[in-house]
Structure 1
Amino acid sequence: MQKDKISIIVTCFNKAKYIEECLESIFKQTYRNIEILIYDDGSTDNSKEMILKTIKNSPFEDTYFFSESNKGANFVRNEGLSQARGDYLIFIDGDDFIDKDYVEILYNESLTMEADIVFCRIWDFNSKSYVKYLPDDYEFELKDMFLKNNVINVSALINCKIIDEVKFDLELNNELFDDLDFWLNLIITNKAKVFFTTKTKLNYRVLENSISHNSKVFKRYYRTFYNFCYITDKYINEKKLARYYKLNEFIMVIKATIKELLGMVKR
């Protein structure tokens, strides 16, 4: 019996140092009915050359490469949503990589739990620690998307049936929380069922020039709060809860700013 096709959408912008490792980790997947769509978002390094070299070794017949001018992560993800032909899909950033059974585990969990979205922990392999660690007995709750600053990683497995017309918001293109709105739209608007699994992890690379690191302290936290308010204001049915979440977020921002400023003073 033919298993469902899973589209893996790889986004790359100036990740020449890491893109080969990312793609090779996909090639080694134990799940074999895979379609790969790779997008070079106007890289100015030799990412394009590295991608073209690496995909020569792709074991998957459906391997596609697209290269355009720089348009931003959410624009590229929307391109992937339009062009993917799989029954399920996974987004992977070009500097991350996955364990060989990552796709198979997420897919099997989706079938077993009848879940539309399956996500796992994020493993910072450089510092040997989890990002936003979730306990083994964690059960997804919508409020955690706000109080824990989005618990679902962008490389979760998604059943394409639940996506419908949902896209990434281009107002949040290359912004903090660029994927939070997408998840909320699937969960709140399209009633997606979410499941968290401890059986695998996303291998995540923390870079100093990432969105979360490349701004000054006040600017970064201002954008965090601004984007948070913009997103929650879109969901009228959650307005009452959103006000509570915003208050908690604002308190978190103040605390984080103070801590970072104290750290700066110490240095």
Structure 2
Amino acid sequence: MENPLVTIVVVSYNHSKYIKENLDSIKKQSYPNIELIIGDDASLDNSVEVFESWLQANQYSAITNFHKKNTGLATTLNECIGLANGKYIKLIAADDFFHFDYIKNCVALFETTNADLIYTKAYGVDENSKILNEDFFGSPEFKNNKELRALLYNGNFISGAAFIVRKSVYNKIGYYQRDVLLEDYDLVLKMLNSGLVIKYLPQSLLYYRRHDGNITKTKFDLLQAHTIATKIKYDIHFEFDSVINGNILKQLKQLNPNLGLIKKGYYKYKKRKLFYYLLINKPFLIKSFIKLRLI
């Protein structure tokens, strides 16, 4: 079987501690035809030096894109994707690493199906690479894109850490937007709206790093608001209004201060609830309505 070129893009921001393990896992891939691109977004640690040292010590060729000034993840990803020559592109953060058969098994499925994106299970590992579980993101079963889309509106389980795409996907639907916080979720929903095909490979083929420390409530609230905004953006036929309005009600009750982020999109959403929209516009009323048990 022909072995088409696969581009692996490694992106780093202050990941120097994990870079060697990541690059070692790329070098050990059982698949023979890999192009490596390395991007660093002006790390404050010695990530660039670690990259350069490993490449020299291993005599491994790579295209490098090292920023002197921090520009954000989307810009770094887009630049690296623009440099890619592979038929398939795999993006990976430098603190995660591969099972040795990740590329081989994914390419085999690509070459025998019409998949535009393939995602796998992922091991969850701690900071010392100890395996915590074998399916970190959870992987519900689905029969087709319609079922998959319904599942994704109830919660995202397709992480960019575990998926690989045809390069043609970016030509069809565009690159990552700088103002999108949940770039993986945005990409997947955009693909489904465009009729592109997503396949699941039920094997744990990647190691996803779970760092110590819980997510702060401030960041969690922000992510919840962005998640709702993404759902509204892609629910163009208003199939999931009950889910979206239910999400908004829950965040109103929890006094999420970031719901203003959905104001513009929710105003245009034909199945919005006017009462919820009023409260999003006048958040000082929310506590009173909670006390009166009106929400």
Offset at residue 149 of structure 1 (A): 2.2
Task: Tell me the alpha carbon deviations over residues 217-240 of structure 1, each in whole angstroms, 9 at most, x when there is no partner.
Answer: 1x23331232123222323524x1
In the other structure, the counterpart of 1:44 is 44
For 1:264, the equivalent position in structure 2 comes to none
What's the counterpart of residue 108 of structure 1?
108
Aligned-partner SS, 2:160: coil
Instruction: Using the TM superposition, give the Cα deviation of residue 254 of structure 1 relative to its aligned residue in structure 2, in angstroms.
Output: 8.2
Where has structure 1 moved over 3 Å in runs of 4 or more?
57-61, 137-140, 152-155, 247-257
1:255 to 1:51, Cα distance in 2 relative to 1, 3 A:
farther
Query: Alpha-carbon deviations, 1:42-69, whole Å to 9, x = none?
Result: 10111111000111255654x1111102
Mapped to 2, the partners of 1:80 and 1:208 lie a distance apart of: 29
Aligned length: 246
Q: Matched residue of 2:32: which SS?
A: coil
Provide the TM-score with structure 2 as the length reference: 0.75
1:193 counterpart = 2:197: yes
Looking at structure 1, the residues matched to 244 and 87 of structure 2 have their Cα atoms a distance apart, in angstroms, of: 36
Residue 29 of structure 1 contacts residue 100 of structure 1 at CA under 8 Å; is this kept in 2?
Answer: yes
Relative to structure 1, is the Cα distance of residues 233 and 250 closer, same or farther in structure 2, using a 3 angstrom cutoff?
A: closer
**Separation (CA, whole Å) in 2 of partners of 1:46 and 1:79:** 21
Match of 2:158 in 1: 151
Q: In the alignment, is the contact (CA less than 8 A) between 1:13 and 1:42 conserved in 2? A: yes
Equivalent in the alignment of 1:97: 97
Structure 1 counterpart of 2:232, one-letter code: D
Q: Which has the larger radius of gyration?
A: 2
AA aligned opposite 1:181? D
* Structural mapping, 1:1-267, within 5 Å: 2-58=2-58, 61=61, 63-68=62-67, 69-126=69-126, 128-129=132-133, 130-134=135-139, 138-139=142-143, 141-164=148-171, 165-172=173-180, 175=181, 177-189=182-194, 191-208=195-212, 213=215, 215=216, 217=217, 219-235=218-234, 237-238=236-237, 240-250=238-248
Query: 1:5·1:86 contact (CA, 8 Å) conserved in 2?
Result: yes
Identity %: 21
Which has the higher relative contact order, 1 or 2, with Cα contacts under 8 A spaced 6 or more apart? 1
- For structure 1, the residue ranges without an aligned partner over 5 or more in a row are 258-267
**Do the aligned partners of 2:29 and 2:101 also contact (CA within 8 Å) in 1?**
yes
Cα root mean square deviation, aligned: 2.6
* Inter-partner Cα distance in structure 2 for 1:118 and 1:58: 30
Aligned residues of 1:27 and 1:59 also touching (Cα < 8 A): no
Per the alignment, in what secondary structure is the counterpart of residue 109 of structure 1?
helix
Q: Is the 8 A contact 1:163 1:186 kept in 2?
A: no
> Within 2, Cα distance between the matches of 1:150 and 1:254?
24
C-alpha displacement of 1:201? 2.4
Shift, 1:194, TM fit? 0.6
Instruction: Compute the displacement of 1:180 (Å).
Output: 1.0
In the superposition, the TM-score normalised over structure 1's length comes to 0.82
